[in-house]
Chain A
């Protein structure tokens, strides 16, 4: 491996971010050139690493103290090379798209600086060699997400969403940091390779804390990948510009949690994996249900992201004893088609001058043909219909659940697949093919080539990624050789032969969901579901009141505590003790002053009083 190449991949976006901040904050074109150029350089370097099948590591020592050595290292292996390609590939498309989407926005240079900072941080997570370095980039990803969600910071909703996203992530990071501390104190190192070696050498010491440490590390993933119960921030994060939602809150950053789990997979024991599997399954179901009654095009996609992340996390949890290939496989295909869907939604929003309610759209298929056909491809992939990429990766997860005998999770996965097809076709039918529902649609027109180009490019992996052997690449990384299929046709039918229950179950579920959506939403002008479901539909629309619940919970605990503490500080410590001490001394001074007034009468009075006291004392003895 060329030791400079990973540095080029990592540092090109960092250089761009710094250069924009220092020199191009008033020059949008220059900022765009820096940022887009940097991500393309990263992409090409990643491609070089991937093609060369490179593996190896390079690094500097970042901190060195007795017992604590932290490297700033870059590790390239099968897993990270693939992930680099996903991040920079999808990233390149989205960077270019952004230039069209946000043209004319006065904050454009700030936007591109944030996007480059994000790319740098995300690539840092991918390449990190040790847990503390992972944590560093983990935090940087969080902050760049904050900056980009709050890009339109003058909108209160965007500013609040940014704050909430960062704080929710911080709660997850709290667990992550404790997990790191625990791992370090038991195994004595933070380096992932050394951890693996020491774990093999000292399994007994690790056994006592393995579950706790695994679950604490999982906390980080729960925050970043927005798993239940920290899922609330992701839908609100849609306040950011749509390309940001595509890159950060769909394709890459939220997948970092899954990537982290795959990186530290060897640290997770059976109990931890069980919890992880059920958390993922639960999130997949919860998010799919919540998506049923959303009307904002981006929020529907956000909940579908949550749901798909749930699949991936569940797949990690089910992979115990093996390797998490299906999770990573779904991560890769999902990155392509979800980015495509978000960019398509962006093209719609752009055409309709920031209208996001699907019930004010309709008939867009004729107005925006490129957007429609690419969006359709993305939708079919997301629903898991063959031969698109999503079919193969989702099938791998369902097959895994079946194989492991986890029939409850298998049934859950199949059910979620039906729900997915239902809500995605609800979106597609209402917004694109159904009757037009507002006047604004007359003036809608297709996006410029700088935006449709990335859509078309992303359609390629959406359709074909299932045939590229991503799963074989991953299996090889984990040391399992799997022979290639014979031809495309054989590959297409292989899932039906290999695990028929999973393949047919998933397919039937998707077709069922699609058919129901067609029946109810094909020509609908209003949503029939509230009428059919009644109150539960309202609960779903109100997101099962999680936000209210959390607000009340925080107000009842941390806020209340802060109020009490602030009052104690003000009235007991500052006013009572400090002022009290000062006051007591002053009072003593005032009283004592009465003894020495210079007034003879007072002295006489004191004298008399003293005499009386002395007299009384002697007489009563």
Chain B
């Protein structure tokens, strides 16, 4: 089962099977979807556990030529960077299928779309061919639009679906332009990432070219991740999306942009990155502080979670902007943590929406008494969201702040305010409004999640958050060598890189420390 192709194609094959079944086999659709995503989850877990942290190069690698004329191949593999993301994606996908019980209309099409999305998600994380990466990304993205349009909720869903489609298509196109530019400029005639890396390490692109290609990738991928000020699609889109789509999109698909930046843009265009990081750090602050403040004003739980999710993306951007091992590692930890957290939060808010028909904070209150299990889960999710230790978000956010401190001090100070105070304000206000206080009579009959199967997705997501929060080395130990490799300036380009960085010399860059810390630390 520890075979990447098996993991990717389990949901895709299941989607094909469901499409061929008669329309009325609703129970079977659900079982097939659960089985397929469950198998993928087990496979991803085995891959994660079997990963050798120190090994150079890819593991579980498979490569088959696809379009040889353009140098395109089916090339998948994992290393420390994407193993955790793959596991997170598979877990969220399984949880998303679990909570899809709420869907009663057109289940066949729904599960086909959901499984296609899952296949795309899992494939994009393990693809080591830029073209394949893009194909899988689109395979995951397109069903999102349909899911929002067809099974969405709320009055604004048409506009939200329209906006998210346009925005993300635009972002994806700009990113595609960047990837093609990279392919053309490199002149290696291959989309294969390891080959491209080798090629560009030997013959780096001119700084000017690197700069504009990095810009294309940054803004293309940035739009996909809701980089400020291109973020407005996200809260509106998630508010309108059906629960499973919001979980998968906010949790997983939004991470592709970040993954692309870390996997492709940083190592292939290191000097281009230098030119953009200051701007990126400030835009990241826009996410953290601005969207945090916007979240403070929301009265709709979906929008509050949506804005907080956008705010959390700021930490990942800040980690990337640090260009240090500590910061980039933190960014990946944030990606995993946020994926689990966003999925968990949207799962609970979706449950509330389905059972109470509203998620307006002004109308709710005192629900902890009626729904102790979900309330407990949600309160813990909110704690995780305001960066409380014990949950995976804390090591992630702390590492990004540590990593970015030497080069972006002012940004870090303001970001820390956003992380510690603003986030706590909106999270605790939401807890106060939703769960605390007297229980209004009309919600006296509210049903808590009962039964092991109903509780399973919440327990799995929360459990994963706690496990990675208490033992972050599960993620960071495999990550460290990969990130060091990705950030190491290619041989021969050291002098220019050091010159450009303006004092941030190569070892300092790696360690994330200007002076004292660059030495050996630890006993």
- Interface residues, chain A, with chain B CB atoms under 8 Å away: 25, 61-69, 132, 135-137, 139-140, 143, 146, 150, 153-154, 156, 159-160, 162-163, 166-167, 170-171, 173-174, 177-178, 181, 184-189, 198, 202, 205, 558-559, 561-563, 565-566, 569, 573-574, 577-578, 582
Contact = CB atoms under 8 A, between A and B. Distances in A.
Given A150-B436, A153-B437, A173-B420, A64 B413 contact: no
Given A188-B516, A188-B519, A154 B389 contact: no
A139 B388 CA distance: 7
Interface string B342-369: 0000000000000000000000001011
Nearest to A554: B425
Contact of A177 (B293, B416, B432): B416
Contacts, number: 167
25 contacts: A25-B372, A63-B476, A64-B477, A64-B522, A65-B480, A66-B511, A68-B402, A143-B383, A143-B388, A153-B435, A154-B369, A154-B439, A162-B436, A170-B420, A174-B421, A202-B516, A558-B296, A558-B425, A562-B294, A565-B290, A566-B293, A566-B298, A569-B290, A578-B163, A578-B232
Contacts of A63: 395, 399, 472-473, 476
A188 B517 contact: yes
Given A153-B437, A160-B432, A185-B406, A68 B425 contact: no
B312 to A, nearest CB: 17
Interface in B492-523: 510-519, 521-522
A154 B375 CA distance: 13
A132 B162 CA distance: 45
B377 to A, nearest CB: 12
Given A65-B329, A166-B424, A139 B517 contact: no
A177 B420 contact: yes
Nearest to B426: A562
A67 B512 contact: yes
A574 B326 CA distance: 35
Contacts of B428: 146, 163, 166-167
Contacts of B383: 143
Most central of A135, A140, A558 by chain B CB within 10 Å: A558
Interface string B363-390: 0001011001000000000010000111
Given A181-B401, A562-B297, A163 B432 contact: yes
Nearest to B475: A63
A299 B417 CA distance: 31
B166 interface: yes
A553 B392 CA distance: 34
A198 B517 CA distance: 11
B326 A67 contact: yes
Contacts of B395: 63
Given A163-B428, A171-B421, A558-B293, 6 more contacts: A61-B473, A66-B484, A143-B383, A154-B439, A167-B424, A566-B297
A561 B516 contact: no
Contact of B514 (A153, A162, A185): A185
Given A61-B473, A67-B512, A565-B290, A574 B236 contact: yes
B473 A64 contact: yes
A65 B476 contact: yes
Instruction: Name the 9 nearest CB pairs between A and B, nearest first.
Output: A67-B511, A188-B517, A159-B436, A566-B297, A188-B516, A136-B389, A562-B293, A69-B522, A574-B232
Given A143-B383, A153-B437, A187-B516, A177 B424 contact: no
Given A188-B519, A566-B294, A66 B413 contact: no
Contacts of B436: 150, 153-154, 156, 159, 162
Interface of B: 162-163, 166-167, 229, 232-233, 236, 290, 293-294, 296-298, 325-326, 329, 366, 368-369, 372, 383, 388-390, 394-395, 398-399, 401-402, 405-406, 412-413, 416-417, 420-422, 424-425, 428-429, 431-432, 435-439, 472-473, 476-477, 480, 484, 510-519, 521-522
A62 B472 CA distance: 7
Q: Summarize A's interface: helix, strand, loop or mixed.
A: helix
B416 A178 contact: yes
Given A177-B420, A578-B163, A66 B326 contact: yes
A154 B325 contact: no
Contacts of A62: 472-473
A120 B167 CA distance: 47
B405 A185 contact: yes
Nearest to A176: B420
B389 A159 contact: no
B521 A68 contact: yes
A64 B476 contact: yes
A565 B232 CA distance: 13
B437 A156 contact: yes
A591 B516 CA distance: 65
A450 B10 CA distance: 61
A154 B513 contact: no
